[in-house]
C-alpha cells in the first residue's frame, strides 16, 4: 500500500536526513569516547526551516546512542524551574544511588523536613541546579557516561536562566565533567544573544550555521523517500522537483509531500503531479516561512530586498545601490545587516542572493499586492 513518508512540519525528523553527515559524524564522535571537548557545547543557528530542531534531535540521538542521559527543553519561561523541579529530580532518582538524606547532608543543610524533603525544598534554585548536576554527573561518570541538556529556540530564553545555566556548564567544564550542552535558534536573535553579557558561555560554543543542502542531496532525499513510500518517479520529474526545492530542507518535505498528494492515478508520478505539488508547496512556504521572516524588517531593508528581487539569480551589490539610488557604502550597511539576519547571503565576490528560495517571488507578489491595497485605500 503506497504511503506518503514526507513530513512537511517543523520539528519533525525526516524520513531521510540529508546533507548533514559531517555534522552528525562530529556529534557521534563527541560521544563515542573521542570526546572532543569542543563538541560538548554546540550552538546551531539558521533561518526557519533549515533543519536546526532536527539536528538538535540528531545530537540527542547520538548522545543516547552512546548511553548518555538527555534532557530536551525549549526556552519557554520557567526553564530553570523545570530543570530543578522536574527533569533532574527524576533522573537523580533513576540514576543516583545515594539516598535522599545523603544528598541533603552533602551540603549540610538538611531542613526540618529531614530526609524525605525534596531537593528544591531545601535549596534555592541556582545552587540546587548545580548540586543536582554535580550529583548526577558524578553518578554517571563512573560508567563513562554523561548528561546532555539541549535547548531549542534558545533566542527566546530568559537571559537570567541562560546565564545561570551557562555558569554551571562552565563549572562543569573546569571540573572536566561529562556534561554537554546543545542549543539551536534563529540566526538574527542568536547574533544578538551572543552580544549579551549574560550569554558569554554561548560565545565559546562550537557554532554551526545551518544552511542549504546540495542538489545531489536533495535528489537523494526525494528519490529515496518516494521509493520508500512505494511510488515511482522518472528522472525528469525528479529534476523538476529538485530544482523547485533549491537546496532548502523544509522544501524537500513540502514538494515531496504535495507531489505524492497530487498523484492520485496508478503508475509513475507524472510531470503534472510534480507541477501541482510544487505550486502547493510554494503557497505553504509563503505562509509559513516568508511572511514571518520578512515581517520584522524595516522599510529600508525591504527596499534593499526589492531592489534585489528584480534579478532572477544572484544580484550585484553595486547594481542594488544604483537601483536604490544610494551610495554603495549606505547600501553596504543594509547588506551587512541582512546577511547577519540570515535573509540574504554572499554569492561570491560583490554578489548576494536570498537565503530561502522564492523570497524574490514572494516580495514581488507582495509589492504588487501592497501597491494595489494602497490604490484601494486612496479610492475609498
Ligand X SMILES: Nc1ncnc2c1ncn2[C@@H]1O[C@H](COP(=O)(O)OP(=O)(O)OP(=O)(O)O)[C@@H](O)[C@H]1O
List interacting residues with Mg ion (CB under 5 A): 53
Cβ 81 to ligand X shortest distance, Å = 23
d(CA 338, CA 343): 6
By CB under 6 A, tell whether 12 contacts ligand X.
yes
Nearer to Mg ion, 11 or 314 (CB): 11
β-strand partners of 181 = 41, 149
80's contact among ligand X, Mg ion, none, with CB below 5 to 8 A by partner kind, is none
| SS3 per-residue string spanning the chain | CCCCCCCCCCCCCCCCCCCCHHHHHHHHHHHCCCCCHHHHEEEEEECCCCCHHHHHHHHHHHHHHCCCEEEEEECCCCHHHHHHHHHHHHHHHHHCCCCHHHHHHCCCCCCCCHHHCCHHHHCCHHHHHHHHHHHHHHHHHCCCCCEEEEEECHHHCCHHHHHHHHHHHHHHHHCCCCEEEEEEEEHHHHHHHHHCHHHHHHHCCEEEECCCCCHHHHHHHHHHHHHHCCCCECHHHHHHHHHHHCCCHHHHHHHHHHHHHHCCCCCCECHHHHHHHHHHHHHHHHHHHHHHHHCCCCHHHHHHHHHHCCCCCCEEHHHHHHHHCCCHHHHHHHHHHHHHCCCEEECCCCEEEECCCCHHHHHHHHHHHHHHHHHHHHHC
By CB under 6 A, tell whether 291 contacts ligand X.
no
131's contact among ligand X, Mg ion, none, with CB below 5 to 8 A by partner kind, is none
By CB under 6 A, tell whether 338 contacts ligand X.
no
By CB under 6 A, tell whether 14 contacts ligand X.
yes
d(CA 103, CA 120): 12
By CB under 6 A, tell whether 46 contacts ligand X.
yes
By CB under 6 A, tell whether 256 contacts ligand X.
no
213's contact among ligand X, Mg ion, none, with CB below 5 to 8 A by partner kind, is ligand X
Nearer to ligand X, 11 or 209 (CB): 11
Nearer to ligand X, 211 or 314 (CB): 211
| Region from 2-10, 27-35, 172-180, 227-235 binding ligand X, contact rule CB under 6 A | 2-10
Nearer to Mg ion, 184 or 352 (CB): 184
50's contact among Mg ion, ligand X, none, with CB below 5 to 8 A by partner kind, is ligand X
Nearer to ligand X, 19 or 89 (CB): 19
Phi, psi of 116 (to 5 degrees): -85, -5
Nearer to Mg ion, 156 or 324 (CB): 156
By CB under 6 A, tell whether 171 contacts ligand X.
no
By CB under 6 A, tell whether 213 contacts ligand X.
yes
| Region from 74-82, 135-143, 244-252, 269-277 binding ligand X, contact rule CB under 6 A | 244-252
Nearer to ligand X, 83 or 356 (CB): 356
* Residue of 4, 5, 17, 362 that binds ligand X (CB under 6 A): 17
* Residue of 50, 321, 352, 363 that binds ligand X (CB under 6 A): 50
Nearer to Mg ion, 53 or 96 (CB): 53
Which residues in this chain contact ligand X in the complex, by CB under 6 A?
Answer: 7-12, 14, 17-20, 46, 48-54, 186, 213, 221, 249-250, 252-253
Amino acid at each position: 500500500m503506497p504511503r506518503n513518508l514526507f513530513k512537511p512540519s517543523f520539528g519533525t525528523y525526516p524520513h531521510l536526513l540529508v546533507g548533514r553527515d559531517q555534522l552528525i559524524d562530529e556529534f557521534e564522535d563527541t560521544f563515542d569516547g573521542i570526546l572532543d571537548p569542543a563538541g560538548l557545547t554546540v550552538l546551531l543557528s539558521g533561518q526557519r526551516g533549515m533543519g536546526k530542531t532536527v539536528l538538535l534531535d540528531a545530537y540527542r540521538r547520538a548522545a543516547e546512542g552512546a548511553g548518555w542521559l538527555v534532557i530536551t527543553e525549549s526556552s519557554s519561561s520557567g526553564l530553570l524551574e523545570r530543570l530543578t523541579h522536574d527533569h533532574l529530580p527524576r533522573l537523580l532518582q533513576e540514576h543516583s544511588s545515594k539516598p535522599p538524606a545523603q544528598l541533603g547532608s552533602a551540603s549540610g543543610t538538611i531542613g526540618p523536613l529531614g530526609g524525605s524533603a525534596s531537593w528544591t525544598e531545601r535549596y534555592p534554585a541556582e545552587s540546587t541546579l548545580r548540586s543536582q548536576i554535580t550529583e548526577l554527573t558524578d553518578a554517571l561518570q563512573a560508567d563513562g557516561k554523561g548528561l546532555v541538556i539541549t535547548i531549542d529556540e534558545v533566542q527566546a530564553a530568559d537571559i537570567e536562566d541562560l546565564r545561570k545555566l551557562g555558569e554551571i556548564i562552565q563549572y562543569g567544564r573546569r571540573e572536566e565533567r561529562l556534561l554537554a550542552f546543545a542549543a539551536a535558534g534563529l540566526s538574527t536573535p542568536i547574533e544578538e544573544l551572543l552580544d549579551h553579557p549574560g550569554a558569554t558561555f554561548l560565545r565559546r560554543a562550537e557554532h554551526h550555521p545551518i544552511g542549504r543542502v546540495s542538489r545531489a542531496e536533495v535528489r537523494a532525499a526525494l528519490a529515496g523517500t518516494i521509493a520508500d513510500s512505494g511510488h515511482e518517479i522518472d528522472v525528469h520529474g525528479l529534476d523538476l522537483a529538485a530544482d523547485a526545492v533549491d537546496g532548502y530542507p523544509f522544501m524537500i518535505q513540502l514538494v515531496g509531500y504535495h507531489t505524492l498528494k497530487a498523484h492520485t492515478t496508478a503508475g509513475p508520478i507524472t510531470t503534472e503531479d510534480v507541477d501541482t505539488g510544487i505550486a502547493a508547496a510554494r503557497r505553504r512556504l509563503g505562509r509559513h516561512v516568508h511572511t514571518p521572516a520578512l515581517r520584522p524588517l524595516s522599510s529600508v531593508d525591504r527596499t534593499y530586498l526589492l531592489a534585489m528581487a528584480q534579478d532572477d539569480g544572484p544580484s550585484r551589490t553595486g547594481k542594488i545601490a544604483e537601483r536604490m539610488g544610494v551610495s554603495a557604502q549606505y547600501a553596504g550597511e543594509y547588506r551587512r545587516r541582512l546577511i547577519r539576519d540570515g535573509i540574504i547571503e554572499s554569492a561570491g565576490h560583490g554578489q548576494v542572493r536570498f537565503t530561502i528560495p522564492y523570497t524574490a517571488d514572494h516580495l514581488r507578489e507582495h509589492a504588487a499586492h501592497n501597491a494595489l491595497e494602497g490604490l484601494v485605500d486612496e479610492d475609498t
